[in-house]
Amino acid sequence: MVARTLKRPATWLALTIALPAAAVIAGVLLSWLHTDTGLLTHLGRFVLPRVVGNTLVLVIGVAALTSVIGVALAWLTAMYEFPGRRLFSWALLLPMAMPGYVIGFVFIGVFEYSGPLQGLLRSLTGTTESLIPIRSTPGIIIVMSLALYPYVYLMARNAFLTQGQRAIEVAATLGLAPRAAFWRVALPLARPWIAGGVLLVSMETLADFGTVSVFNYDTFTTAIYQAWFGLYSLTSALQLASVLLLIVFVVLIGEKKLRGRAGYATGVSAARVRPLEGSQRWLASAACLTVLAIGFGLPVVQLVAWTVTSWSAAYWTDFLRSGGQSLLVALLAMSLTTAAAIGLVYARRAAPSPLVGAAVRVGTLGYALPGTILAVAIYSLLAASNNALNTVVERLLGIDPGFFVQGTLLAMLIALGVRFLAVAFQSVSNAMRRVSPHIDEASRSLGVTGMPLVRLVYLPLLRGGVLTASVLVFVDVMKEMPITLMTRPFGWDTLAVRVFEMTSEGQWERAALPALAIAIVGLVPVIFIVRAASNAPATR
């Protein structure tokens, strides 16, 4: 059976596409074969206790706060009528366009000790002490929660809308008050959706590098970066990455165990919203407006103000250069990743087998891996392959060819491809499910198989899914910071890298224009989501 499967070209295509992700995991785990005892002792004594504690506190805090914000706003906009409800129902997704590191440096620039708000408060109160401890654990938890709550909000709102008012009405007939019905009926029914949103939030928090760097908050991602670029130890960076990888898998397994095999059946009737009365109407509007203003309005207004005040010809030239490099990387990564996703979807359809299924699961695992892990692992693997190739050529020809692959654009593109293959694969795979198997049979009867089948039959039918995959990967690459920062060629600055460099020096104004450009690009998937929601069955 295995031998027959391996004879199919589609099987080898799937294995080839999955190879980089498999090599990353293997490389991270095999790093423990070579250890620097002294450096490992130093990391175990002075680094690991701090970063483990900080990482766990951050993940738990952000998961808890996003759950409260996301579920509360989802319940309000899905089940009740109040002024501005229709606007808030989609506008509350806008903070999703803002990377956490952009909201982070805006908040620090506005709320830090030397910022305008604290200066005004000190002049009014007559004190010289800091009144808003923005550079603190609660500060970073609030900032990251404002950037990530839309994940929970979107999934919880979909859950409440599909439940409809019927479940609440049934609970009322059983003598439950509206508040008790929410806690005992609506919330348990929505638990799988909420758990999925919280899982995404937890994974994004574990993978975050930009926001924690802005706040100088040490987590595993910053420790990996410092081990590589501060201690110049690639092996130690890989070993720290292996610990983070273990935490990621524990989160994934824990979420799966938490859901268990429970089934959740709900009605398909649309939600019948209930009008709020009196002051409750305006309190609901105020709650939605406050979150939207702090999470999206304040950053946009401040970025525009900084951009206007710091405008200069040199500033514009630097932006065009980094913007052009970001555009080139995003286009190349988009093309590579989308093509790999099409190949993986085709392989699963043309040669369905447990081996191909395993290759698909491994190949799409990259989105669960933080960018710092991928950057370190890909760099080390390319460096080892590069050194081996140079040694072989030198022995055969007696000359040192001096090949240099790591630290090139190729390394960055491979890491980005592994990271975002799952995003592209999901969109293309969903589109492929709509293609009838009868089309394959008709094509084979006409002698169209292999790549001609993909080019002439599949691609025209998958156009919508391929376009969605391309757009999502493009946007994700434009926002990606750790991979581009750690694997870029010398002098290759993307918009995200410029934001990192400027914020590291406290130059908030100079970081504003590239951050604003990233936020504008980040609006694209939000528009996709809003359009998809508007095409769904209308609520009554």
pLDDT band at 127 (very low <50, low <70, confident <90, very high): confident
- Number of neighbouring beta carbons within 10 Å of residue 270: 15
Residue matched to tokens 């286009």: 331
Q: What is the pLDDT of residues 94-111, one digit of tens each?
A: 998 899 999 999 999 888
Structure tokens at 248: 């990621």
| Cα 158 to Cα 274: distance, rounded to the nearest angstrom | 17
Pairing mode of beta strands 80-81, 274-275:
parallel
Q: What is the pLDDT of residues 151-208, one digit of tens each?
A: 999 888 888 887 656 666 666 666 666 677 777 777 787 888 888 888 889 989 999 9
**What is the three-class DSSP state of 539?**
coil
Class of residue 226 by CB neighbours under 10 A (exposed 0-12, middle 13-18, buried 19+) = middle
- Are 91 and 292 contacting, i.e. CB atoms less than 8 angstroms apart? yes
Give residue 178's pLDDT: 67
- Number of neighbouring beta carbons within 10 Å of residue 213: 23
**CATH class entry, domain 35-309+505-540:** mainly alpha
Summarize the confidence of residues 451-462 as an average pLDDT.
78
- Are 237 and 227 contacting, i.e. CB atoms less than 8 angstroms apart? yes
Summarize the confidence of residues 453-462 as an average pLDDT.
79
Which H or E run contains 228?
A: helix 220-229
- Are 330 and 477 contacting, i.e. CB atoms less than 8 angstroms apart? yes
Question: Above 70 in pLDDT, residue 32?
Answer: yes
What's the pTM?
A: 0.85
Which H or E run contains 80?
A: strand 80-81
Fold match between domain 1-32+310-488 and domain 35-309+505-540: yes
Residue matched to tokens 């506005």: 110
Scanning 134-186, the segments in alpha helix (DSSP H) are 137-163, 166-173, 178-181
Report the range of poorest mean pLDDT among 131-135, 145-149, 222-226. 131-135
Q: What is the pLDDT of residues 57-67, one digit of tens each?
A: 999 999 999 99
Superfamily of domain 1-32+310-488: MetI-like (1.10.3720.10)
Residue matched to tokens 């738990």: 60
Question: Above 60 in pLDDT, residue 518?
Answer: yes
Domain segments of the chain as ranges: 1-32+310-488, 35-309+505-540
